[in-house]
Structures are given as structure tokens and as C-alpha cells.
């Protein structure tokens, strides 16, 4: 599998260090809050597992499975929640954990939808952000790495539902993202 990807993008070491920093920052920011860490699946599963363990204070965990639909499925902004939260978020401090923010439409949809349940606060932590691709402004409080307009796979991120298990992030060449 790994031979397909010539260019590891962010090394495991760099990622580990950055996630440790994010964990420390989140721990400090949420010291007196009622944190519920909401992982957006499938893509965030690997990042979520590492980030959650870097936050060394009590918190709740929950997950949402989202799926895109439409012709240009990814980044079309047509997103639906396939599952619901199991925890009550009303009056609590929600931190959404995303793999990557591209157009921003998924995060925008999630913030709008979850805000109806009246959390005390709602913020976003994303491993990756592609600012050049943004279609809508979304507030990103915690960003692991800003990356250029390249298609990346591994560490939870897929290409046609594969390669999520690659233990590092790699640039996938020869992909027309618009076709995805």
C-alpha cells in the first residue's frame, strides 16, 4: 500500500508533537468548562484517538457520522448527519474534531445544526485546513497544520474510502479533487 504514496506529507513525529501541543492548549482553555469532544466520522477517527489522549482532564466523548451526497460529493456542502449524538450538549462546551476543513461547508452545517441544541459554546479543532479552498468563513479555533491545495490521504483521510489506515499523511497525486 505504502508504495503508492511517494511523499509523506507530515511525519508521524511532527504530528505527535503538534497533537501534544493542541491537547495542552485545549486542556488549559477548557479547565473550568464542561467539555464534550465530538469526533466527526469517519475521517477524524485517528486524530480523535490521539487528541483525546493528549487532553489530560475529565471530559465527555461523542461522535457523529456525517456523509456527503450530491454529484460532486465531497465539498459540495451537501452533508447529512447519518447518526445523532448520544450525549446531551445543552449548556455544555462542544469541541468538534474534524480531519480536514476544505470548503468549510461541512463545519458550517454542523455548527448551524448543533447550535439548535443550545450548547454553551461550540468550537472546532481540525487536524488540517486548506485555506485556499474555503468557500465560506468558518471559525477554526485549533488547527494542526495549514496545507496548500493538495489531496491528502492517510491517518483517517480517504480516497474513495481507502487508505484511511495509512499511519501517516501523504499527498495523493493525480487526483482531480473536483471529481470526487
CA-based angle 143:145:148, to the nearest 5?
120
- Which part of the chain contacts ligand IMP (CB under 6 A), choosing from 9-17, 48-56, 111-119, 149-157? 149-157
179 is catalytic: no
**Annotated active-site residue in 50, 93, 102, 158:** 102
Listed in sequence order, the residues at least 6 apart from 177 whose beta carbon sits closer than 8 Å to its beta carbon are: 74, 75, 149, 151
Find the binding residues for ligand IMP in span 7-46 (CB under 6 A). Answer: 43
Indicate left, alpha or beta for 27 from its phi (over 0: left) and psi (-120 to 50: alpha). Answer: alpha
Cα 69–139–129 angle (5° rounding)? 65
Q: Give the contact letters, 76-95, x = binds to ligand IMP (CB under 6 A), - = no.
A: -x------------------
Rounded (5°) CA angle 49-52-54: 110
DSSP 177: G
Among 25, 60, 103, 121, binds ligand IMP (CB under 6 A): 103
Residue 10 or 75: the one with the smaller Cβ distance to ligand IMP is: 75
Residue 143 interacts with ligand IMP (CB under 6 A): yes or no: no
**Active site positions, annotated:** 102
Binding site for ligand IMP (CB under 6 A): 43, 74-75, 77, 98-106, 151-153, 157-158
Amino acid at each position: 500500500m505504502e508504495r503508492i504514496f511517494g511523499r509523506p506529507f507530515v511525519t508521524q513525529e511532527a504530528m505527535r508533537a503538534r497533537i501534544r501541543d493542541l491537547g495542552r492548549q485545549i486542556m488549559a482553555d477548557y479547565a473550568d468548562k464542561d467539555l464534550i469532544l465530538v469526533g466527526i466520522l469517519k475521517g477524524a477517527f485517528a486524530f480523535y484517538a490521539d487528541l483525546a489522549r493528549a487532553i489530560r482532564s475529565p471530559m465527555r466523548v461523542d461522535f457523529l457520522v456525517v456523509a456527503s451526497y450530491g454529484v460532486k460529493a465531497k465539498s459540495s456542502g451537501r452533508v447529512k448527519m447519518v447518526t445523532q449524538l448520544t450525549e446531551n450538549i445543552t449548556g455544555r462546551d462542544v469541541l468538534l474534531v474534524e480531519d480536514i476543513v476544505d470548503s468549510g461547508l461541512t463545519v458550517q452545517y454542523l455548527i448551524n445544526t448543533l447550535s439548535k441544541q443550545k450548547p454553551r459554546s461550540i468550537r472546532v479543532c481540525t487536524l488540517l485546513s486548506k485555506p485556499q479552498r474555503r468557500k465560506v468563513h468558518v471559525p477554526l479555533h485549533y488547527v494542526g497544520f495549514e496545507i496548500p491545495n493538495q489531496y491528502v490521504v492517510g491517518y483517517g483521510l480517504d480516497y474513495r474510502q481507502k487508505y484511511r489506515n495509512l499511519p501517516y499523511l501523504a499527498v495523493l497525486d493525480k487526483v482531480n479533487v473536483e471529481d470526487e
